[in-house]
Amino acid sequence: MKIAKTLSYAIPLSRPIGVDGEQRHTETTLHSSGSILEAFVSRRQDCNAAMKFLKKIMKRYERPHEIVTDRLRSYRAAMKIIGNETSQETGRWLNNRCENSHLPFQRREQAMLKFKRLQSLQKFVSIHSSVHNHFNHERHLKNGEAFKLQRNAALAEWQQLSAA
């Protein structure tokens, strides 16, 4: 199980999002490669919400080698209950990659297109990760020809999926 030894998660600071006049918090899990694994919306930012989120991740994926979080106390308390507190990393710049994963939410907030209902937010959160991973080809790491080939293949696959 080579994957289990190198698997690591990154959980960013949860961002408050306005839904029908109430604040909701979104939390996103990233793989160490940068792909979005899971997104979760909660009413509160407490130990119970963190426990529910961590259990959901560990049930669906394997137990990670390390978990990068911010310094929020609820994550530390949840990790202590689960028994995984030794794998928590809370460095200063460690969670920059996951902070950037919240940009689509921030753009939508800035454009004043707030989510009107919790269902629309949940749909956006669940669909966004799969679509983002499908079209995120990391342009800065590839030359132009390889990027165009991958983009065309992704578009062809997307057209095939949307036609079905």
Task: Report which of residues 44 and 133 the model is more confident about.
Answer: 44
Strands 88-89 vs 66-68: parallel, antiparallel or unpaired: parallel
160, part of any domain? no
CB 99 within 8 A of CB 41: no
59, part of any domain? yes
Q: What is the pLDDT of residues 74-131, one digit of tens each?
A: 888 888 888 877 777 777 676 666 666 666 656 655 544 667 777 777 777 777 766 7
90, part of any domain? yes
Q: Which residues contact 38 (CB under 8 A, 6 or more apart)?
A: 28, 29, 56, 57, 60, 61, 129
41, part of any domain? yes
Q: What is the pLDDT of residues 83-99, one digit of tens each?
A: 877 777 777 676 666 66
87, part of any domain? yes
What tokens does 158 get? 């997307």
Read off the CATH number of the domain in which 102 is found: 3.30.420.10
* Residue 14 to residue 46: CA distance in whole angstroms: 11
pLDDT, residue 111, reads: 47
Q: pTM for the whole thing?
A: 0.52
Structural domain tally of the chain? 1
Structural domain including 121 reads: 2-132
